[in-house]
Amino acid sequence: MENRIFQNYILGNWSNGDGVETNLYHAINGSFIGTASSAGIPFKDVLEYARKNGPTLRKMTFQERGRMLKALALYLMERKEKYYTVSAWTGATRIDSWIDIEGGIGNLFANASLRKQFPDLPYYVDGVAAPLSKNGTFIGHHIMVPKEGVVVHINAFNFPIWGMLEKIAVNLMAGVPAVVKPSEYTCYLTEVMVRDIIESKILPEGALQLICGLGRGILDSLDSRDTVTFTGSAITGKKLKSLPHIAQESVSFNLEADSLNATVLGPSAHPGTQEFDLFIKETVKEITIKAGQKCTAVRRILVPENLLEEVQKALSAKLAATKIGDPSVEGVRMGALATRLQVDRVRESVQKLALSQEIAFGSIDTVDVIGADKEIGAFFSPILFVNDDPFKKIDVHEIEAFGPVSTLMPYKTLDDAIELAKMGKGSLVSSIVTPNDTEALDYVVGAANMHGRILVLNAACAKESTGHGSPMPLLTHGGPGRAGGGEEMGGKRGVLHYLQRTAIQGHPTTITHITKQFQVGAEMPEASPHVFRKHFEELVVGETVFTHKHTVTDADIVNFANVSGDNFYAHMDATSLEGTIFEKRVAHGYFILSKAAGLFVDPKKGPVLLNYGIDEARFTKPVYPGATIGVRFTVKEKIDQEKRSDDDISKGIVKFLVDVYDETGETVALATILTMVKKLKE
């Protein structure tokens, strides 16, 4: 173990702050680790440095940013054991550290995969075009461009790695640089990883800066281009969010606060069911994982009143069997709190809660530990309270002990359970464990307005469920009310938080040029040669193949029915059409698309490797025998694709608009086909 100064990475260099702001100690054995300070740092310059270097990120396409995140994730995964070693200093078990380290790196992988949902552009094209004129020469659309500021991430002590990576994965994918300010108490783990990130040179310079000290003054120079994300206590978060400077400058502020999350044992999950056993197992896990130091931890346990005593006995027995101490000792399942200061804070909250409810398990003042000294390490006993009248004894809905502390309480009906869950005044997550899907439906719909996420757990999903306390990168993480009203992660939704949505208006040809997506009504220059004879780089959005035409016959309909087996009455029985929308037997929609392919395909071997899908297929007008159809086949959008290996074919994805029209010029069918097209350059 080292006794050293944990540095800040700012302005392209590693730097000490002035003096000592925080002394850092090992959570298990109390030994001195080192110091951290951000005093004297010119925060205005730090923010401006990020803004100045922002164009490098903004000019990258979503595909390039996604590949950058993937490369970083692979790089960090190769070095993960280093982080496990340092994570143990925080009091974490191997499982605790796995959530923080590999869960955090998993966020990079997940956000990297989002590139498939974005265009091959530095900006995002949002939604579909809006017609704004009678003749179609004036339309509207929306684009979303990266904000030209910097995001300041203020993170909590409990997840020094996950807290950083789950946030920067999103802003980097959006093309916005970040300054990360972890908790000073566990910043040493964040600093170890950031050193590797900087050394990798995978991120552009200025994309990531680190503040290891208190960070006092870091918000003073923010302006309307910037964003703040805060994870921590609701009191501190609201205080920062309400700073006059933040309001005056209209600084975007995302608050994700600790909350009084509830888990519910459904009425049908009685003893003897798999769900009852799952409930006990998952609840104990939520109390003891990370020693209860999770913003998503279960603080309130709601059970049918007739099962209160039985659940209390089962939870107490499992908690009593949980070995606490040095995680390096075999059999230890719960480590220490992060600091002795945190022990004092948890004890103070427990004492307040004890004024209105009874302790059923655990002790405020003592705890048995293995392989460590409880007087030196930051250990605290799991505490299980019982509240026999939760509608009247309401401290449990107001006070959070941010440690291994939870309260068991009864409910009479599921409606009562819903009301109790909502008495937390806004939570990040709730869960219900039940084999009854009707109970699940009633709880989810009733409780959703005060929760950011709800887990429905039963035996069918238990094996693969990630649990009550695990927010997932492709789903939103946040919640209303006390939980802060913010959203983190959320897949594409999270990335869009860092983009500015702007409405654009103009001629379809102009909007096509801006969006790089073909807009109906835009110019359609005829392709020469045929688009199937062109490589990926040679194709231009908007260029079109105007095909030969085909007159549909009764024989076409009969033959297609024979081949496909589709003998739906509207195609095959003209005597059954009374009361329908059809005037006579109608051609199959899929015949129209199949015939369209026969018209637009150039059959010779060329750059087109394959057609792998159809999107947005619509049949807009019946086609009867005697109608003559043709196709306008237009390059709609191009998306670059990276090579998966050295021997992979260099290619890109091209979307083509298939517009099938009849002799009147009206569209009868529309579809988008997806093709892989070879590149000129390997």
Which residues does the annotation mark as catalytic? 256, 295
Strand spans (E) along 183-328: 208-210, 227-232, 252-257, 261-265, 298-304
d(CA 445, CA 438): 11
Q: Is residue 503 a contact partner of residue 140, using CB atoms and an 8 Å limit?
A: yes
DSSP calls for 341-398? HHHHHHHHHHHHHTTTSEEEE--SS----BSS-TTTS-----EEEE-S-TTT-GGGGT
Dihedral sign (CA 11, 17, 22, 26)? positive
Q: Is residue 338 a contact partner of residue 293, using CB atoms and an 8 Å limit?
A: yes
d(CA 636, CA 674): 10
Q: Is residue 318 a contact partner of residue 424, using CB atoms and an 8 Å limit?
A: no
445-459 CB burial, b ≥16 within 10 A, e <16 = ebbeebbbbbbbbbe
**Helices and strands in the chain: count of H runs, count of E runs:** 18, 28
Q: What tokens appear for 641 in the block?
A: 């694709």
Q: Is residue 91 a contact partner of residue 377, using CB atoms and an 8 Å limit?
A: yes
Instruction: Describe the chain by its helix, strand, coil percentages, rounded to 5.
Output: 35, 25, 40
Q: Is residue 627 a contact partner of residue 586, using CB atoms and an 8 Å limit?
A: no
Nearest alpha carbon to residue 256 among 237, 242, 241, 243: 237
State how far the alpha carbon of 130 is from the alpha carbons of 504, 508, 615, in Å.
10, 10, 20
Q: Please give the torsion angle defined by the CA atoms of residues 9, 217, 296 and 187, in that order, rounded to the nearest 10 degrees.
A: 30
Amino acid at 105: I
With H, G, I as helix, E, B as strand and everything else as coil, classify residue 130. strand
Backbone angles phi, psi at 590, to 5 degrees: -75, -25
Q: What tokens appear for 83 in the block?
A: 């982080």
d(CA 585, CA 572): 7
Nearest alpha carbon to residue 112 among 145, 75, 147, 68: 68
